[in-house]
A = this chain, B = another copy of it.
Amino acid sequence: MRLSIVNPNSTRSMTDAIALAARQAAARGTEILAYQNDAGPVSIEGHVDGVLAVPGLLHALSIAERDGADAHIIACFDDTGLEAARSVLTGPVIGIGEAAARMASLVARRFGVITTLAVSVPILEDNLVRAGLASLCTGVRASELPVLALEDDPKAADARISDEIAKAISEDGAEAIVLGCAGMAAFAERLSERHGVPVVEGVSAAVKLMEGAVSLGLKTSKRGGYARPRPKERGFAEPESAPIAEAGS
Contact = CB atoms under 8 A, between A and B. Distances in A.
A89 to B, nearest CB: 11
Nearest to A39: B235
A76 interface: no
Interface in A33-56: 38-43, 45-52, 54-56
B233 A42 contact: yes
Interface residues of A, number: 92
A224 B84 contact: no
A107 to B, nearest CB: 5
A225 B226 CA distance: 26
B107 A219 contact: yes
A38 to B, nearest CB: 6
A23 to B, nearest CB: 13
A41 B234 CA distance: 3
Interface string A74-90: 00000001011011100
A107 B175 contact: no
Given A132-B132, A211-B208, A234 B51 contact: no
Interface stretch (A12-20, A154-162, A198-206): A198-206
A52 B218 contact: no
A146 B114 CA distance: 33
Nearest to A137: B132
A109 B82 CA distance: 11
Interface in A202-249: 204-205, 208-209, 211-213, 215-227, 229-230, 232-237, 240-241
Contact of A208 (B38, B176, B212, B227): B212
Interface in A120-135: 121-122, 126, 129-135
Interface string A178-198: 000000000001000000111
B129 A129 contact: yes
A84 B48 CA distance: 5
B189 A217 contact: yes
A230 B43 CA distance: 10
Contacts of A2: none
Nearest to A52: B236
Nearest 10 interchain pairs by C-beta: A109-B225, A208-B212, A108-B221, A122-B225, A175-B224, A41-B234, A47-B84, A48-B229, A175-B221, A132-B136
